[in-house]
Amino acid sequence: MKTTFEAGNTIAMLDHGYCKFIESWGSDQGIIETARTSTDKGFLGWEPGICPICNGVKEVMPPSGDAWVECHSCTGKGTHIGDKRLLKYLWDNLHATPFEFAGMTVEIQAPIFVFREWHRHRTQSYNEMSARYVPLPDLNYIPSIPRLLLNSSTNKQASSLNDIILTPDDAHLYRQALIEHYKSDEEFYQRALKMGVPKELARIHLPVGRYSKMRATGNLRNWLSFLTLRRSPKAQSEIREYAQYGVGYFISELFPRTWSNYVGEAV
């Protein structure tokens, strides 16, 4: 059964970020109904049971007919095998269009560099807060010591220059220096605004670690494609956190039967 979320349900991410549920449409059952449009059968029930069209009689009386005919829904069996098998069949055999008839909108607060990765998923639609119109809040991403020390043997993009190994002491020094840089950037930003520099130009020195905010919307098929890439161990850990614990959690609660098939396929 579909879980009902209240608009505004929010999950904290990183140090100042979040993933907020806005709205959803469609359901696991709706996916079945969409898939069955071609056969005009509709949703029969998740578990095996008596055919709801003929009630197990195996025959039906057509509206314009005067003789009983074989039930087209169960093909004269009087029972059905359960629509959970159909949902699995659709997913396993890449019958993807029915999954486009459900979807979700979320609001994301994340560092700008996370958005640059996210926006590569061009099947979603986005609307981001604009620093042309409002000053960006003084929120900046500061990686934790464990995050800075995280190494990857599978993703060369995560490697440091010349394979230099970062020590805990240097990681601490980096964090302190980063805080000072952020502070300097913000002071210069505020000074530029007070001088009358247009907001669209006063922002140009701000780093990609500055937090921004956007709404993202997409259908279920495209959200699952997003999750396949961004939940991967090869994805950068920051966007992976949003995918796994934000988007993925909402999808698992809203479309639990589809999620069950997806997880069995993707993990």
Q: Is 230 known to be catalytic?
A: yes
In three-state secondary structure terms, 117 is helix
Give the amino acid at 144.
S
Catalytic residue among 230, 231, 240, 257: 230
Count of beta carbons in the 10 Å neighbourhood of residue 169: 8
Q: Round to whole Å and give the CA distance between 164 and 258.
A: 44
Tokens of 14: 């990183």
Q: What is the DSSP letter of 246?
A: I
**What are residue 80's DSSP bridge partners?**
49
Among all chains, which residue has been given the structure tokens 């464990």?
146
State the angle between helix axes of 28-35 and 256-266 in degrees (0 to 180), rounded to the nearest 10. Answer: 80
Tell the residue number behind the tokens 């578990």, with chain if given.
47
What three-state secondary structure class fits 216? strand
Tell me the C-alpha distance between 158 and 153, whole Å.
9
Would you mind telling me the total number of residues written for the chain in this entry? 267
Q: Helices in the chain by DSSP H: which ranges? A: 28-35, 83-92, 112-118, 145-149, 168-195, 199-202, 220-230, 237-241, 248-254, 256-266
Active site positions, annotated: 230
